Amino acid sequence: MSTTWLITGATSGFGRLITERALAAGADVIAVGRRRDRLAELARLAPEGVRITTVELDLTAPEAEQVLTDAVRTAGGLDVLVNNAGYGLFGAVEQIDADEARAVLDTNVLAHLTVLRATLPALRASRGRVVQTSSLLGQFAWPSSGLYSATKGAVELLSEALAHELAPTGVKVTVVEPGTFATEFAGNLRVVSPADVYAPTVGKFLSDFAQLPPEAFGDPGTVADAVMTVAALDEPPLRLAVGADAVDHIRASLVSRLAELDRWEPLSLKATHGAAAGPV
């Protein structure tokens, strides 16, 4: 029996590769993207007997939720959502102006919520799968990644809550955390050049990153393969780091956070002694 997938950001990077793999596996696909020419390319790639519906859409547009709801209804339901659209914004936290910050939050966080609202009723009906694309930078931040990490951290935590909320319905949620891969991401990101005060931190990091050799960037097909695997699992992980650098950096961040928690535990307990228990 064929499954139906909805994939955002389907025209480039991980989204394009996942779309190609889903089509090759015989899935019907609702491919969502902003580039008409690339959506047409995907339509031509669809094997005979496989249905692809292309939706040219800016996910931050006011009508986006209704357009996606209508597409799912026309498709007759939905089994897998790959909530993948987004872009990078790098620069010193102080230097990211309000318009830049609002734009990246709209695309990387609020648009994800738009997609979820449009698709979750159908996914509950099918006891389907939600795959949320995050990043290794959803678990920690580097100099220059503050706003981008904030958006991916938001995706991580809203997805964790969503997994708990959907557990009784049978819908499974997985957050995929890719490391550094050779996609079009670098060509599409926005970089704010650092002021002199941030040259030793933000400037150095951006310079060092720009000088990484080609072999430092993994094969993006690895991420697409991982998505195909977790979407088929009966009990998929909540989080899946993909790439050796993602595993290493996330592990180092978690170890560092645990060490800090242990180091300052006496002060934490002293500060809260006698205080009423409960969340802040």
**What positions carry a catalytic annotation?**
134, 148, 152
The structure tokens 């909805």 sit at 6
- Cβ(176)–Cβ(135) under 8 Å? no
Q: Report CA-CA distances (Å) from 16 to 13, 32, 58, 241, 254.
A: 6, 10, 16, 20, 31
- Cβ(192)–Cβ(96) under 8 Å? yes
**Nearest C-alpha neighbor of 58 from the set 85, 30, 83:** 85
CA 27 – CA 29 distance, rounded (Å): 6
Phi-psi region of 234 (alpha: psi -120 to 50; beta: other; left: phi over 0): alpha
- What letter does residue 195 receive in the DSSP assignment? P
CA 63 – CA 54 distance, rounded (Å): 16
E-strand ranges in the chain read 4-8, 28-33, 52-56, 80-83, 89-90, 129-133, 172-178, 190-191, 239-242
- What letter does residue 218 receive in the DSSP assignment? B
